[in-house]
Amino acid sequence: MSKRILGVSAYYHDSAACLVEDGRIVAAAQEERFTRIKHDAEFPTHAVEYCLSAAGISASQLDLVGFYEKPLVKFSRLLETYIACAPRGIQSYWRALPLWLSDKLLIHDDIRSRLDGYAGEILFGEHHESHAASAFYPSPFEDAAVVTIDGVGEWATSSIGAGRGHEIEILHEMRFPHSLGLLYSAFTYFTGFKVNSGEYKVMGLAPYGKPAYVKLIRDHLIDIRDDGSVWMNMEYFTYPHALTMTGSAFERLLGGPARQPETPLTQRELDLARSVQDITEEVMLKMARFAHRETGLKDLCLAGGVALNCVGNGRILREGPFEEIWIQPAAGDAGGALGVALALWHRYLGEPRTSAERLGTWQRRHTASAGSPPAYADGMNGASLGPEYSDADIARFLDEHGYRARRVEPSALADEVAALIASEKVVGLFQGRMEFGPRALGNRSIIGDARSPNMQSVMNLKIKFRESFRPFAPSVLREHAHEWFELDDESPYMLLVADVQGAKRLPRTEGEATGLQSVNVPRSLIPAVTHVDYSARIQTVRRETHSRYYDIIEAFRRRTGCPVIVNTSFNVRGEPLVCTPEDAYRCFMRTNMDALVLENFILEKAEQQPLSSEDVWQREFALD
């Protein structure tokens, strides 16, 4: 008889649920997609309902339920920190204590009350073990080193371990308050962006700056050891006891107060972003090298929020000692729900694991024949683990609202969408199962022509309504990736950065603009996805994983000779990724997108009735 395990993460940020049946991931989703509250931290009621529905079961049919961390251990860390910092931090203490006493210490009872009819065990994993499980168990490797890096779990802020077969052993960990993730978040806060939301903006801003503060950071803020562990000078950080990340000492050191959100960026912010990014990459590389020395294993798995730093990931792949790396696409706390469910199956129940490597459905790139990418498989189903809608569902939605659309035969859809993109139309793409994790991978995406020199500014300012400096990612056919990028590896989840091939670059011109003024200077033959430093955050697309998306890009290649398109998430600034046809249509109409594809239906903007002038995205979503 099948065994079904529900994993849950909640109460901090990015709550989520995952359903595993006999070791196979059936469904996973973040709560924010249903509530439309970005980074929603509440109990994932809607995500749990979806997971149970996808498995065709009720809560009473679950065999085990797991929570991704140990609340009592985390509470003990908070109490010890408050005591150590007293009398500082009393405001933070009184703000946090009621939440713990009313909710977070009663998680066991809360979960029980929300799963009507469930009478089984509720088990608690450790935060970084859940991350490690989310990284290793779905990976294609039979054995691999495992590195997890984030802000903080219970006490651990990073860990190094080894996965072998169905076992994971944590060998080393770094502990609070010393944390690479919290260092990055401190600079995120200081440069005027939201913590746990704006870190990727700092990463995107870094290439515009100079590493002017690296020496200062090394001299005053952080000591980096050869094993990648760090010691942070807590005289400059306030996060253990205050409601902010940094205080007056940090301001004095960096020559002034933190930038206020939404104010103009200055050269200082550009240089701070570059400096903390350089430090982060150094630590990530050292940690990876230490993991290799300690485990002796040839492959590496990564998870934790810092594993979303795709620039650092790219350097580990290029410069590190590992043959291959695999990164959990839901690397942040949402992925903890998936990790704890898989850990219960393999570690608690002792069930065996059969990796893609053992099955022979995956092989190393250096053994593949010339011109043929190696076989690739993992346990994530391309991260397509969320809700999906049939053509009948879409037709019913369109009819109920009277929206004008035309149905296209599935065999003709790719050519029609490719034609729209080739004419520089911006298209909202809604097809198949919603992605799990922060990246849109062709199922809930906004796509466009990567060759267009205007596409980046149009998408940033008129579609996404976000900062102009932020780069867009390319989706490229896997077999053509090496022709356009300095990458001969898999990047299915858009978590690796590599440079555009030299032959595709445009030369720099004398007197060229610098800093943020250079944002619209074309850098290559695909300027819409080429960052200021010639880099790109790449998604490689295979037909086996994303057949419909692959066919669109292939049709575009046949039409234009270019196997690369722009791919960004289907949302506006501050909005979670769209989940339902209603979400998609609303976002489409609130922006300057030209067309919307709902499964096999195409909607043209010119044929729709405009929304009310009162129906604007700014009324619904706060700036992130």
pLDDT tens for each residue of 140-173: 999 999 999 999 999 999 999 999 999 999 999 9
Q: Do 11 and 78 fall into the same domain?
A: yes
pLDDT at 412 over 50: yes
Q: Is 438 a member of any domain?
A: yes
Residues forming a β-bridge with 301: 146, 326
Give CA 117 to chain center in angstroms.
Answer: 34
CATH classification of the domain holding 493: 3.90.870.20
pLDDT at 277 over 90: yes
Q: Give mean pLDDT, residues 313-333.
A: 97
Q: Do 309 and 247 fall into the same domain?
A: yes
User: Tens of pLDDT along 5-37?
Assistant: 999 999 988 999 999 999 999 999 999 999 999
Q: Is 368 a member of any domain?
A: no
Q: Is 366 a member of any domain?
A: no
Q: Do 298 and 339 fall into the same domain?
A: no
Per DSSP (E only), the strands in 31-155 are 64-67, 121-124, 143-149
Q: Is 453 a member of any domain?
A: yes
Q: Is 288 a member of any domain?
A: yes
pLDDT at 318 over 50: yes
Backbone angle region of 296, left / alpha / beta, with phi > 0 → left and psi within -120 to 50 → alpha: left
User: Tens of pLDDT along 197-247?
Assistant: 999 999 999 999 999 999 999 999 999 999 999 999 999 999 988 888 999
Q: Do 79 and 214 fall into the same domain?
A: no
Classified as helix, coil or strand, 202 is helix
Q: Do 308 and 338 fall into the same domain?
A: no
Whole-number pLDDT of residue 193:
96
Q: Do 341 and 306 fall into the same domain?
A: no
User: Tens of pLDDT along 83-107?
Assistant: 777 667 667 666 766 666 666 667 8
Please, what is the average pLDDT of the chain? 93
Q: Do 417 and 538 fall into the same domain?
A: yes
Q: Is 260 a member of any domain?
A: yes
- The domain containing residue 14 runs over which residues? 1-68+70-124+333-348
Q: Give mean pLDDT, residues 566-579.
A: 96
Percent of the chain past pLDDT 70, that is, above it, reads: 94
User: Tens of pLDDT along 342-378?
Assistant: 999 999 999 999 888 888 777 666 544 445 555 668 9
The helix (H) or strand (E) run that includes residue 157 is strand 156-164
Q: Do 339 and 295 fall into the same domain?
A: no
Whole-number pLDDT of residue 368:
45
pLDDT at 548 over 50: yes
> What is the torsional sign of CA 462, 464, 469, 472?
negative
Q: Is 355 a member of any domain?
A: no
Q: Do 239 and 387 fall into the same domain?
A: no
CATH classification of the domain holding 78: 3.30.420.40
Q: Do 343 and 258 fall into the same domain?
A: no
Percent of the chain past pLDDT 90, that is, above it, reads: 80
Q: Comparing C-alpha atoms, which of 575, 573, 555 is closest to residue 565?
A: 555
CB 311 within 8 A of CB 277: yes
Q: Comparing C-alpha atoms, which of 169, 143, 170, 167 is closest to residue 155?
A: 170
Order of strands across the sheet that contains 324-327: 167-175, 156-164, 143-149, 299-303, 324-327
CB 228 within 8 A of CB 292: no
Q: Give mean pLDDT, residues 63-79.
A: 89
Q: Is 371 a member of any domain?
A: no
pLDDT at 483 over 70: yes
Phi, psi values for residue 71, rounded to 5° = -60, -40
Q: How many domains does the chain have?
A: 3
Q: Do 110 and 177 fall into the same domain?
A: no
